[in-house]
Each structure stands twice: as C-alpha cells, then as structure tokens.
Structure 1
Amino acid sequence: MPEHRGRIETIRLIGGSACLDFVNTANGRRANGSLGSFEENLCSPNDVATWAARANLTTPEEQATLLRAIASDPASANTRLAELIAFRDRLYRLFEATVDGRACADGTAELNRMLAHTLPYRHIAEGGDGAPFQWNWMQAITAENLFDRILGPVALCAAELLTGELGRLRLCASDDCDWMFLDTSKSGRRRWCQMDVCGNRAKARRHARAAGL
C-alpha cells in the first residue's frame, strides 16, 4: 500500500480525548477502507514532541528537554519512535474492535503492559503555599524512557475511556477515514470525525451519485 507522509504541525486534534488524538496521528488502517494509501504523521521523533506539545501533554520546558534528548541520541530516539508507533497501532486495533463489538485480547494486554510500565512515573506532589496536592508525571527524560512521559498519560486516558466513556466512542463513518472521536452531541448520533471534511465529502459523493456522475 502506498504511504503518504502528513504534517504533524497542522493535523487537527478532534478526537475529544488525548488517546483518540494519538491514534488519529495515522490514517488508512481500516481493512475495508477505500483510502488506498497509508498516511503517517509521526514521521520522526521530533514529530512526537510536536504532537505532545500541541495536545497539551507536555509543558514548553518538557518539550525542550525532549528535543535535546532526541538530538543527543538519534538512534535510540528512532527505536523509541518505532515502539511508540507499534503501541499506537495496537491501541487503534483495540478501539476499532471495541466499536465493532469484538474482543481484542492482544490490544487489552498491550494497554495493560503500557500502564504497568508507565504508571510508576506518576506521583503525588505538594502544590506549595497551601495549594492542593496534585498528580504529576516524572520530569527526567533519558534515552530509555524518552516517550514514557507522553505514553503514560495516553495509556491512562485510554483506560479511563474504556471504563467510563465507551458508549461515546465512534469511528468516522467515511470509508476513506479511520479517525476516532468521542460523540458528545446531545443526540448521540454524530457520524463524522469532521463535518467540514468527511461529512462534506460524503455529501458531495451522494450528490454525484444522484446526478449519475
């Protein structure tokens, strides 16, 4: 299947949840889809840092630290990128199966593995000056844990979605898009990840068929 390289700087974050925006960093994975190509938007380790900052998963200081760590050991960074993408695609399969009412034992096991790996990085910190306690994630970033600061919140978000908001999980109705989103509409009947993109394309196809084109 041909591969198309996207631009992480402009990709829309429309999932309504960080874990859905994470799986939406690629397109073209549906077995019955008609896109005809695979689009990858995490083309380099730096793209992960850019996406995480745009998704508000890291602070500017953490992003700067992450970029320095990537630059200091490019080989390790690319290894970690491959591992991150493998987790993303397994998470996508878990969500896809769930939407279809199917079990996905491998996906569940992979999510549990990531939770066990990253949750030890989460800790309670004092707010200071009488502020309330708060959850924080580890700050130290090394070649070995390069993307764990990002994958920890993503994995926790996925677990909370599956155990809490599962009934709102949707797969875009367009057969040339495999993006996912939380349907927060009052009717609960939202079909498109983006009405101005996938919805309008579907409308144009319907009009073309009706016109015999």
Structure 2
Amino acid sequence: MSTPWTIEVDGVVLPKPLSGHPALELCNTRAGWHGPPDPRGEYLRSYDALALLAVTTGVISADTGDALRQHAAKDPGGVEHTLDRTRKLRADLYSAFTESPSAAARHRLADAISAAHSRQRFVVDIDSAQWEFSGHGTLKDPLDAFLIEAGALLTDDRRELITACPGEDCGWLFLNTSRRRRWCQMSVCGNRAKQAAFAQRQRD
C-alpha cells in the first residue's frame, strides 16, 4: 500500500520519487541518514526493489528489469553480493553528495563509476542512438546504471543544488532548483517539524 512517502510497484514498496535525479533516488532508498542504520528505514531489501527502482527512474528498460528479476530468482548468492555492494556504494554516494567523503570512499566511487562506464557501448539505430551495456545482462546492471548517473551529477553544476531534508528520521536528498525548498515533502517532514515545534511551545 502506498503512503505519503512511498509508492508500490509490482507489489514492492519503494520510496516516493521526489528528488529530481536517479542517483538521488538511489540514496533515498534509505531513510534516517542522520542516525545509525535502522532496518525500518531500508527499502533495498530485495533485488526486486533495486531492479524496479532502476525501471521507475528510467535508468534501465522494463524488459531488462523483468529479465534481471528472473535471473535473480536463480542466483541468491549473486543477489546478496549485489545488494551488499549497492548499499555500501549508496553510503559513499550520500557522503559525496552531502559532505566531504573520505579518501577511501572517493576511491571506491571513482573505481566503481569508471568500471560501470567501461561496460558501455554506443549503439546507433536508424532513428535513435543510445548507450547500452555490452554483453549479456548481469545483476549489477541496475547499480552500474545508477553509478553512471551519479558520475554525471557529481560533475554537473546541479551538484550545488543537492539538499538533504532535515526532517527527523529522514535525510532524503533532492535538487533544490527553487533554492527555497527545505523539506523533501512539506506535507510530511515539514508538518512533523511544525507539530513538534508547536508541542514544544506548549510545554514551555
């Protein structure tokens, strides 16, 4: 069931898309970035979640997502490795987007993004052209697609617009194109903050 901060895609609960960029949507698969990891704020609990996030954000096609989900059902070991790597690189990305990442995080991101790019080839059709991953699809395709998007954002002027929601148990990222937006959603985190402030004034 969808909520003000989630959507449901093919039976899988995903965070509501509100960041304005695929790489930030990957970061938003965890809530509560201001504190220690909490399983209640984790959305990447299955490979289906990763693949469907990639499809809904447009970094891979629906056909590719379906094929990868079928492959994942036959490779639980590969799924666990992919999800573990995705969560670790997600944390590195969040750090790169919001603060000064450690040298180790910078090296991990540089290596991962470079490796993702090395798998691409440029395909020209009669009336279109696009980048595609070469060879057969692999479980890491969604992550690599997100890494390529992340690399583009890290080298883009829009990087300066990235804002982290200050809401309690949130920390979701978004492109603050208006430069006036404070909350991921005023109707959720903004209202919670208002209610908390009101309650505090009543106590005082």
1:60-87 per-residue CA deviation (whole Å, 9 max, x = no partner) reads 2101110111012112211221111111
Q: Does 1:189 align with 2:171?
A: no
CA distances 1:28-82 after superposition (whole Å, capped 9, x unpaired): 2324x8x977511111122211222222222221011101110121122112211
Cα shift at 1:112: 0.7
The one-character-per-residue Cα deviations of 1:126-182 (angstroms, maximum 9, x if unpaired) are 121xx243323346223xxx12x2222322222222221121010112243111111
Q: What SS is found at the alignment partner of 1:205?
A: helix
Task: Work out whether 1:159 is the aligned partner of 2:151.
Answer: yes
Contact 2:30 2:42 in 1 (8 A): yes
* Contact kept in structure 1, 2:15 and 2:28, CA below 8 Å: no
Alpha-carbon spacing, 1:155–1:204, altered in 2? closer, same or farther (3 Å): same
Instruction: Write the distance in 1 (CA, Å) between the matches of 2:125 and 2:90.
Output: 33
Query: How many residues of Structure 1 are paired with residues of Structure 2 in the alignment?
Result: 194
Aligned to 1:122: 120
Residue of structure 2 aligned with 1:18, choices 22, 40, 43 = 22
User: Residue 44 of structure 2: SS of its match in structure 1?
Assistant: coil
Selected match of 2:130 from 134, 137, 144: 134
User: What's the Cα RMSD here?
Assistant: 2.3
Query: Mapping of 1:197-208 within 5 angstroms?
Result: 197-208=188-199
Decide whether aligned partners of structure 1 residues 36 and 116 sit closer, same or farther in structure 2, where only a CA change above 3 A counts.
closer
Query: Matched residues in 2 for 1:133 and 1:195: separation?
Result: 39
Query: Match of 1:26, SS?
Result: coil
Q: What amino acid does structure 2 have at the position aligned with 1:83? A: R
Mapped contact 1:69–1:141 kept (Cα < 8 A): no
> Which residue of structure 1 lines up, in the alignment, with residue 171 of structure 2?
178
Distance 1:103 1:9 in 2: 30
Do the aligned partners of 2:14 and 2:49 also contact (CA within 8 Å) in 1? no
Q: Which segments of structure 1 move beyond 4 Å, counting only runs of 4 or more?
A: 35-38
CA distance in 1, matches of 2:64, 2:135: 7
Q: CA deviation at 1:108?
A: 1.9
Find the counterpart in structure 1 of residue 74 from structure 2: 72
Q: Distance in 1 between matches of 2:38 and 2:55?
A: 30
Cα separation, partners in 2 of 1:190 and 1:74, compared to 1, 3 Å = same
- The residue type equivalent to 2:174 in the other structure is F
Q: What is the alpha-carbon distance in structure 1 between the residues aligned to residue 131 and residue 52 of structure 2?
A: 23
Q: TM-score, normalised by structure 2?
A: 0.84
SS in 1 for 2:155: helix
TM-score, structure 1 length as denominator?
Answer: 0.81
Partner Cα distance (1:191, 1:37) in 2: 26
Structure 1: stretches of 5+ with no match in the other structure: 1-5
Q: Which amino acid aligns with 1:151?
A: L
> Structure 2: which 5+ runs fail to align?
1-5
Aligned to 1:29, which of 33, 45, 52? 33
- Counterparts of 1:208 and 1:134 in 2: how far apart (Å)? 54
**Aligned counterpart for 1:55 among listed residues 57, 61, 65:** 57
